[in-house]
Amino acid sequence: MLDNPLASSHASEAADDFAVRFALRHATLAPSSHNSQPWRFVLGKDSIMLCADRLRALPVVDPYDRELIISCGAALFNLRVALASLGIGYAITLFPSSVDPDVLAEIRLLRNHATGAELAALVGAIQERVTTRHAFSPEPVDAAIEQHLLEAGRAENVEMACVSAMARREAVADLVAEADRQQFADSRFRRELARWIHPRHTEDGMPAYAAGLGDLLDFAAPLVASAIRTFDLGGGVAATHRELAAGSPLLVCFATGVDNAPAWLATGQALERVLLTATLHGLCASYLNQPVEVEALRARVPALFGLPDTCIPQIVLRIGRGTPDAATPRRPVDEVVA
């Protein structure tokens, strides 16, 4: 747990600085596509501006910056939780600038306003949460916990649906495998993925084990990156992911009614709220976004989750019990503050 800077002192100016850093550090622990950490924060007097850092975009897998904004939404949710845990209230204006679409949110700090204990209770889970790409135990997720997860997502105004029946999981797993084959057949996709696989000591990107290739490639990071760049590993990746998806007790889809930046920002907040809630319940989560990322397959996702065709899928997760992976690196706060 990071130290609470206000725990032993009054809200002096120095403590205020610490509080903002505490909130920013927690924001940067959010998940992001390829661990690209595509966010910047601009500090004002009693305000924090969250901006998209489009220099960190992934133009092949995410050509419209959809996942980039979802990642920023997850960082925004962590910021809210961290502030709530310090007893600091806030008022958020989404997309406050009519001229700059990169400004995603302005968070004004309201120090004399009470904040919800419900969010504050999630703060410990922020550091604990990691994406876990191993197989999960087949043990079903308790129905009451599944309900908590659904409530967490819907509290952020995003639709969610879960599937646990084997036949449904198999159908989702088949579509994931088809998407893997299509993505890995594209050399641009492989090159982009390889560029974000780094040795562990760097401050962004993914260590080799996090590249989603399971045990397929048990080499050092530079060799993994080179193999991904050079060979179409789609068949093996598809088989691995198919098995992981079908074998996970709970699959979850996040969906919205429209497909635009506000919907993506809401999805990111819902995603992180669900991930932190799952962490509190001792559950692990991993991503099965491939069918959402492949445009030609995306429209087939809602029906697999029993959602109406009008729902636009944004994120697919698998959830279950497992041994959490090691944490991935983050850039220091100073590097993300303008």
Ligand X SMILES: Cc1cc2nc3c(=O)[nH]c(=O)nc-3n(C[C@H](O)[C@H](O)[C@H](O)COP(=O)(O)O)c2cc1C
User: Which residue has the closest beta carbon to ligand X?
Assistant: 31
Does residue 287 touch ligand X according to CB under 6 A? yes
By beta-carbon proximity to ligand X, the closer residue of 67 and 159 is 67
| Per-position x/- string for 156-185, each x denoting binding to ligand X as judged by CB under 6 A, each - no binding | ------------------------------
Cα 88 to Cα 4, 5, 30, 80, 114, distances in angstroms: 12, 12, 20, 9, 7
By beta-carbon proximity to ligand X, the closer residue of 129 and 169 is 129
Token readout for 67 is 């996942």
Q: Count residues near ligand X (CB under 6 A).
A: 18
**Site for ligand X, residues 250 to 279, rule: CB under 6 A:** none
**Site for ligand X, residues 106 to 135, rule: CB under 6 A:** 130-131, 133
> Which sign, positive or negative, has the C-alpha torsion 226, 227, 233, 236?
negative
Q: Report the nearest approach of ligand X to the CB of residue 31 (Å).
A: 3
Selected binder of ligand X within 26, 52, 56, 67 (CB under 6 A): 67
Selected binder of ligand X within 19, 23, 26, 33 (CB under 6 A): 33
Cα–Cα distance measured from residue 258 to residue 277, given in angstroms and rounded to the nearest whole number: 25
Q: Report the nearest approach of ligand X to the CB of residue 139 (Å).
A: 22
Contact (CB, 8 A) for 43 and 4 = no
Number of residues that this document lists for the chain: 338
Cα–Cα distance measured from residue 57 to residue 38, given in angstroms and rounded to the nearest whole number: 7
Q: Which residues contact 295 (CB under 8 A, 6 or more apart)?
A: none
By beta-carbon proximity to ligand X, the closer residue of 72 and 145 is 72
Q: How far apart are the first and last CA of the chain?
A: 26
Contacts with ligand X by CB under 6 A lie at 31-35, 67, 70-71, 74, 130-131, 133, 206, 210, 212, 287, 289, 328
